[in-house]
């Protein structure tokens, strides 16, 4: 007797299972691959595009710190500005029309903070909102209190938004010796918030860097609190005594705008920021 193995019929439920276990992963993987390819192609196009002369003119007139930057960083800064402007959207509030002057002035300062570190950008940052001058809390802010509005020059949110008052931003960028720069301040907060928390402790590449940071910043913050409480003069703005996050942001302003004084008066802060930003503004 000849026995034959009758093939199992392929039912519709088999097709469903095949689709779930093979089809969906293939579609997802294919989609991701196409997205990554398109992203890389778009990034490459941005990187290879010329840096417009008009943008150079804006840097020259509005962001003099860029002219002081060592020449070997210039190419990276321009690339990072182009990528920043391709990835981050700008929105004007209170009648502000977003222009290249606003975009380039803001982007250049944001990118100054990261130019020392190859491929370091702002992974959480999605948009920058510009007001003409000091603004009250935005109703979209996480801690908005309509009964208690306060005026401010800048904000940085962990959800990926930086808000700036344009008059202060431009003034702070042009004057590079007063230790006050709202854009550097807010983008330092944005770096601090990269791990989802604004606590004055940004992301470090090693445990030893984190340990050194904790020791120096804890000690120096206590000194700052004492100076602020007693009204003593300080190379750092007393606002830095508010909390660790503000201490990091205020120290960053002084690092770029009063590097010599900071290195002389608070050498440990200068050294730890030099290691973090991988820049040495005293030598500029």
Is 249 a binding residue for Zn ion by CB under 5 A? The answer is yes
CA 272 to chain CA centroid, Å, is 19
Q: If binding means CB under 5 A, how many residues of this protein chain bind Zn ion? A: 2
Q: Which is nearer to Zn ion, 79 or 242 (CB)?
A: 242
Q: Considering beta carbons, is residue 62 or 252 the nearer one to Zn ion? A: 252
Asked whether position 184 contacts Zn ion by CB under 5 A, the answer is: no
Under the criterion CB under 5 A, does residue 104 sit at the interface with Zn ion?
Answer: no
Site string for Zn ion, 190-229 (x = CB under 5 A): ----------------------------------------
Q: Are 138 and 168 in contact (CB under 8 A)?
A: no
Span from 53-61, 122-130, 249-257, 267-275 in contact with Zn ion (CB under 5 A)? 249-257
From the CB of 236, what's the least distance to Zn ion, in Å?
Answer: 13
108 forms part of the interface with Zn ion (CB under 5 A)? no
Q: How far from 59 is each of 34, 81, 126, 170, 264, CA to CA, in Å?
A: 36, 11, 23, 11, 29
* Residues 250, 157: Cα–Cα separation, whole Å: 17
Residue 281 near residue 235 (C-beta atoms within 8 A)? no
Q: Report which residue's Cβ sits closest to Zn ion.
A: 249
- By CB under 5 A, tell whether 164 contacts Zn ion: no
**CA–CA dist 146, 136 (Å, integer):** 10
Q: What is the C-alpha to C-alpha distance for residues 179 and 246, in angstroms, rounded to an integer? A: 14
Chain residues binding Zn ion by CB under 5 A are 246, 249
């Amino acid at each position: 007797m000849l026995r034959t193995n009758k093939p199992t019929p392929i039912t519709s439920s088999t097709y469903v299972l095949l689709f779930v276990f093979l089809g969906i992963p293939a579609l997802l993987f294919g989609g991701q691959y196409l997205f990554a390819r398109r992203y890389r192609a778009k990034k490459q196009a941005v990187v290879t595009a010329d840096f417009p002369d008009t943008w150079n003119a804006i840097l020259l007139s509005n962001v003099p710190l860029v002219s002081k930057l060592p020449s070997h960083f210039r190419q990276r800064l321009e690339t990072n500005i182009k990528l920043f402007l391709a990835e981050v959207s700008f929105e004007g509030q209170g009648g502000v029309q977003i222009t290249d002057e606003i975009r380039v002035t803001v982007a250049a300062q944001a990118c100054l903070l990261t130019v020392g570190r190859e491929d370091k950008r702002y992974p959480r940052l999605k948009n920058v909102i510009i007001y003409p001058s000091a603004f009250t809390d935005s109703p979209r802010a996480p801690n908005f209190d309509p009964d208690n509005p306060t005026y401010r020059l800048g904000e940085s949110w962990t959800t990926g938004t930086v808000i700036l008052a344009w008059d202060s931003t431009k003034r702070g960028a042009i004057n590079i010796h007063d230790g006050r720069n709202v854009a550097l301040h807010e983008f330092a907060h944005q770096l601090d918030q990269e791990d989802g928390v604004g606590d004055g402790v940004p992301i470090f590449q090693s445990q030893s860097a984190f340990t050194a940071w904790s020791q120096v910043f804890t000690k120096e913050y206590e000194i700052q609190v004492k100076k602020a409480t007693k009204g003593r003069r300080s190379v750092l703005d007393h606002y830095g005594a508010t909390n660790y996050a503000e201490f990091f942001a205020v120290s960053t302003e002084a690092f770029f705008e009063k590097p010599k004084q900071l290195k002389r008066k608070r050498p440990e802060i200068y050294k730890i920021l030099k290691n973090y930003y991988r820049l040495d503004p005293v030598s500029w």
